[in-house]
């Protein structure tokens, strides 16, 4: 727990993943060629992984049609402003697979192992997101949650990342996540954003026309943007 009681840091999240789910994520069948080798790599990763996350409770203030403030920090996004309309609180967050797993993955020279390691890091990130979200739910009972992430939509660019990180003071440093000069997160298998309460079931993917996205969770809806005009 941070000295700021609105900030919660989870820096010892267990990497708990079912072997079958892991193999499916790595596009392997149990008992198939290379599955045992992939599972050996998974167990090795579990022994070193330390996924982490941080979130905070923030007060929401509408500034104008395209600007919202979270605890006084202003963000420019029409979609974010509409999503937070009528909401008094939101929960900025950062989650990561962890620098330990990132460094471990760089030790793999074999092309196939590096491919699997990348998938394993994605699983660790999902674990961090789940645990962080469950902790938030237990503490604040927000009901149905949705999220927006800087860089996922053109309306809220990556250049807003430093403002989001500023909400945490030095707390993000304890997760090991840092921003590159182009505002990308390092480790790469990290995610930042704002969770908010909603009845609409918002998903970034609804508004994103990118084809063949491996992380797409719902189909693109070319008419959905009309709700944010």
Q: CA 149 to CA 137: how far, in whole Å? A: 19
The pLDDT tens digits along the chain (229 residues) read 444 789 999 999 999 999 999 999 999 999 989 999 999 999 999 999 999 999 999 999 999 999 999 999 999 999 999 999 999 999 999 999 999 999 999 999 999 999 999 999 999 999 999 999 999 999 999 989 999 999 988 999 999 999 999 999 999 999 999 999 999 999 999 999 999 998 877 776 676 677 776 676 677 677 666 677 6
Could you give the 3-state DSSP secondary structure of residue 87? coil
Q: CA 159 to CA 181: how far, in whole Å? A: 10
Question: How much is the CA Rg of the chain, to the nearest whole Å?
Answer: 18
- The answer to whether the beta carbons of residues 191 and 127 sit under 8 Å apart is no
Question: How many of the other CB atoms lie within 10 Å of CB of 87?
Answer: 14
Q: CA 219 to CA 211: how far, in whole Å? A: 10
Backbone angles phi, psi at 49, to 5 degrees: -70, 140
Could you give the 3-state DSSP secondary structure of residue 187? coil
Q: CA 109 to CA 181: how far, in whole Å? A: 27
pLDDT at 3: 46
HSE-up (13 A, CA, CB side) for residue 100: 18
Domains assigned to the chain:
7-228 (3.40.109.40)
């Amino acid at each position: 727990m941070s000295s700021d009681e609105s900030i919660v840091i989870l820096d010892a999240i267990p990497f708990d993943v079912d072997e079958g789910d892991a193999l499916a994520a790595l596009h392997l069948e149990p008992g198939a060629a290379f599955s045992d080798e992939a599972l050996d790599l998974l167990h090795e990763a579990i022994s070193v992984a330390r996924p982490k996350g941080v979130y905070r409770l923030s007060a929401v203030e509408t500034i104008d049609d395209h600007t919202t403030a979270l605890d006084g920090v202003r963000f420019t996004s029409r979609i974010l402003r509409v999503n937070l309309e009528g909401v008094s609180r939101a929960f900025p967050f950062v989650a990561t697979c962890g620098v330990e797993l990132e460094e471990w993955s760089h030790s793999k020279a074999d092309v196939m192992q590096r491919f699997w390691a990348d998938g394993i890091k994605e699983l660790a990130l999902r674990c961090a997101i789940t645990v962080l979200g469950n902790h938030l739910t237990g503490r604040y009972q927000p009901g149905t949650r949705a999220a927006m992430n800087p860089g996922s939509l053109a309306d809220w660019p990556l250049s807003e990342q430093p403002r989001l990180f500023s909400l945490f003071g030095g707390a993000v440093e304890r997760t090991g996540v840092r921003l590159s000069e182009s505002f990308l997160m390092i480790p790469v298998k990290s995610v930042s954003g704002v969770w908010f309460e909603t009845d609409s079931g918002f998903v970034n993917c609804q508004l994103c026309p990118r084809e063949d996205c491996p992380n797409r969770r719902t189909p693109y809806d070319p008419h959905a943007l009309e709700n944010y005009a």
